[in-house]
Amino acid sequence: MRIVPLIVFAVITTALVVILNSSLVLPAPLGKLLSPQHGVWQNAEPADQDFTANLKFPQLTGKVNVYLDDRLVPHIFAEQENDAYFVQGYIHAKFRLWQMEFQTHAAAGRLSEILGDVVGGSSVLEKADRQFRRLGMTYAAEISLKEAEKDPATKAECDQYTAGVNAYIGSLNESSLPIEYKLLGYQPEKWTNLKTALFLKYMSFDLAGHDDDFELSNAKSIFTSADFDKIYPTIMDSLDPIVPKGTVYPKPGIQVKIPATADSLYYGKKEIIPIIEQKPNKDNGSNNWAVSGKKTKSGAPILCNDPHLGLNLPSLWFEMQISTPTFNAYGATFPGSPGVIIGFNDSCAFGFTNAMRDVRDYYEIKFKDDSRKEYWFNNEWKKTDFRVEVIRIKNKPDYLDTVAYTVFGPVMYDKSFNGSRSTNDKYYAVRWKAHDASNELKMFNLLDHAKNYNDYSEAIKYLHTPGQNCLFACKNGDIAIWDQGEFPAKWKRQGDFVMPGTDSSYMWQGMIPQEENPHQVNPDRGFVSSANQLPVDSTYPYYLGGSYPPYRGFYINRKLNEMNNITPQDMQTLQTDNYNVFAEMARPVLLNNIDLSILNNEEKKYFDILQAWDLRNDVNSKGATVFVNTWDSLENVVWNDELARTNLPLMWPHESTLLENIIKDSAFSFLDNINTPQKETLADDVTMAFKRAVFTVKNADVAGTLEWAKYKDTKVLHLARIPAFSRLHLPIGGGNNTINAANAQHGPSWRMIVSLTPQTEAYGVYPGGQSGNPGSRFYDTFVDTWAAGKYYALWVMKESEENDKRVLWKMTFNKM
């Protein structure tokens, strides 16, 4: 009988050997992960971790001292400017290497290499890698890098940054790898300048990659032109633009011409397009404003910025000071890119919001046959270019994707790919401004060095894509904002729908001259601002396209008009304001049209909560939850019957569309449900919507999540969506249509306030921490401060202050 336990023991031992040395349980061998010498235990950072170091590298030309303060913010002091970029690359890699590489793998369409082709039932290959390959992300990065490296200063900056990243990578061994490499079972590769370019294109996708061409083309096919314009208007009544209404614009430098065939081949064309696009978050926006000295208590300008992006750990941003003989800049940097991106120097401050412009259009291509070797353009067959994308897949053979390139750009969608599982029998090429040559790194470099308005205005000319509202304030008193980028000059509705690709008449006819981009410099009202709203009114001579939320901008302008003797603390209060100005306009419509006579006691309870609400989306507000659910329910009641006429992708109308239509016309035609014999009224729809909303609200109440912060449930997720490395259930208010635009997984990613007094007074915070290591006490240090609406004073250190108690560690870099 002794043989039985022996056999069992042998089987268990064999199983353990197999499991511990294979990827059956996790992407990496379990044995390696649990190894005391090399596994995940090595990533637990001691609370008293010492970051002091004395390092030597042959790439340096002088000495660099780095002082790490009590928040792990590096203050870099370099004798030579390019040495500072080497050290910046080293520091970024030291604290954020996995994040840097993961984001550039995503941009390059390489996630299948490390994750496999299917994760959690979702196709990484189809929904990520093929999307980005076919959009031409690497193609765009290669063009951009070629342009950037023509500039000696940009090339030297990138070369040194890359060398710094690789110097750190070269110091790693198996035990010191970031934990994500161990969990996912792969190794870092050498950094290149192309990776930096890829990261910047990833940001271009995030900020200038949204479009609704296919959805609007489908909608055009099922609605009359009059109804289409009601549902998808090009301008809002509630708009308070970046450049005030009534501004007189000069005669346009480009006279755009509508193609002669537009009525039949474009506006009037009825087509169905089963394309399912993977899109960046449509709420990728931001707030920024600058007030002049005549409105501040100190008499100095104050600049404020809070870009709204996805909330992730590690954070998109990394706080840093860079001081060289040529500039001294402080602010938020991108791990993966050199320089300070949003921040300030000794003379001025600068920030950005998304311009929201449509710079990505689609053209239907007519190929000669399925070989795609020739396509019809301007009355002749033109030869197609091809780019073979080799997509490596973990534990599987490579996937080869041959992408056709035309005069417009890559054919993103064809018979082999439409972004979903449905069938597509047409070919659509994408024309994206991010494919054009540009050198955005030059802009950031020049802004870091800028001393006045002229320096700023020259710097932003290098910004092509993504278009941004570039904010500026200076110690000499100047404030300014430019809606800046290279934007195509379009005729009305050009690019809203898929365009014919058989001739040049539908191509972009040029770029809007830079001097004609909307802007304001030192306006009489004493402030400039933007919050992703349309930058101009309807008198601007070019069609802008895009998608523009109006309400944050409306409220910011109202508040800034009212305010005087402004302090940085006033700006902190405004930047974290939870007042919902959309609800201010919409709630009366709800309250005046709910039929109280048919509400039961439970429904009346929630009606009373809605009626008593103070219009603030504060943490403990119950009224905010009732309002949001009621309005969402009303939108569904009004739109669902019409939009259900097709199962094709359609664009959901903006919330301003419904509100403005029913304020103007209580008999708005879409209030009637086309599927019922009776004619529904506004009161019918609002009452039905409220009753339906109560069902959801009651469930939240029973579950203890009726208070707004609990219901909204803001979280900061790890980039690889590892729950243990994420921060969940954060007690923060705000949301859509509030300045504090914190949603479930999206919101203010870096809050910054800079008072340009002789001794700069600045404050900032972001929802993360300086270290990308989940085992470090600096991993999520700032999250609770951010959620509470508090700030850190930003310390612009002088090297003579190296003995200040805030300095905890010193890293010295010398030439070898």
Domains and CATH numbers, the chain: 581-712 (1.10.1400.10)
User: 40 CB contacts (<8 Å, ≥6 apart)?
Assistant: 33, 34, 179, 182, 183
pLDDT level of residue 19 (50, 70, 90 thresholds): very low
Task: Check pLDDT > 60 for residue 528.
Answer: yes
DSSP 724: G
Could you tell me what percent of the chain has a pLDDT over 90? 88
Task: Check pLDDT > 90 for residue 572.
Answer: yes
The pLDDT of residue 611: 98
Q: 792-793 and 761-765: which strand pairing?
A: antiparallel
Helix (H, G, I), strand (E, B) or coil at 684: helix
Q: What is this structure's pTM?
A: 0.94
Task: Check pLDDT > 80 for residue 29.
Answer: no
Residues 571-596: what's their mean pLDDT?
98
The pLDDT of residue 42: 62
Task: Check pLDDT > 90 for residue 283.
Answer: no
Helix (H, G, I), strand (E, B) or coil at 674: coil
Q: How far is CA 515 from CA 251, 412, 458, 486, 502, in A?
A: 12, 33, 12, 11, 33
Task: Check pLDDT > 60 for residue 236.
Answer: yes
CA distance 208 to 280: 9
How many DSSP H helices and E strands does the chain contain? 24, 31
- Residue 336 identity: G
Neighbours of 193 (CB within 10 A): 19
**Angle 116-117-120 from CA coordinates, rounded to 5°:** 85
The pLDDT of residue 43: 77
Answer for the pair 801, 321: CB distance below 8 angstroms, yes or no: no
Task: Check pLDDT > 80 for residue 349.
Answer: yes
Residues 117-144: what's their mean pLDDT?
90
The pLDDT of residue 125: 82
Task: Check pLDDT > 60 for residue 6.
Answer: no
Residues 281-296: what's their mean pLDDT?
89
pLDDT level of residue 773 (50, 70, 90 thresholds): very high
The pLDDT of residue 209: 67
Helix (H, G, I), strand (E, B) or coil at 309: strand
Residue with token string 């509400």 = 599
- Residue 467 identity: G
DSSP 263: I
Neighbours of 683 (CB within 10 A): 14
Task: Check pLDDT > 50 for residue 38.
Answer: no
Q: In what order do the strands lie in the sheet with 318-323?
A: 53-57, 807-815, 64-69, 74-78, 318-323, 328-333, 342-344, 348-354, 468-474, 479-484, 519-521
Residues 586-615: what's their mean pLDDT?
98
CA distance 660 to 750: 32
Task: Check pLDDT > 60 for residue 77.
Answer: yes
DSSP 366: -
Task: Check pLDDT > 50 for residue 761.
Answer: yes
Lowest mean per-residue pLDDT among 112-126, 391-405, 541-555, 729-743: 112-126
Residues 325-331: what's their mean pLDDT?
98
Task: Check pLDDT > 70 for residue 806.
Answer: yes
Q: At what angle do helices 601-612 and 581-593 cross, to 10 degrees?
A: 140
The pLDDT of residue 419: 77
Helix (H, G, I), strand (E, B) or coil at 89: helix
CA distance 352 to 754: 14
Task: Round to the nearest angstrom and report the end-to-end CA distance of the chain.
Answer: 69
DSSP 81: H
The pLDDT of residue 41: 45
Q: What is the mean pLDDT of the chain?
A: 94
Helix (H) or strand (E) holding 323, with range, is strand 318-323
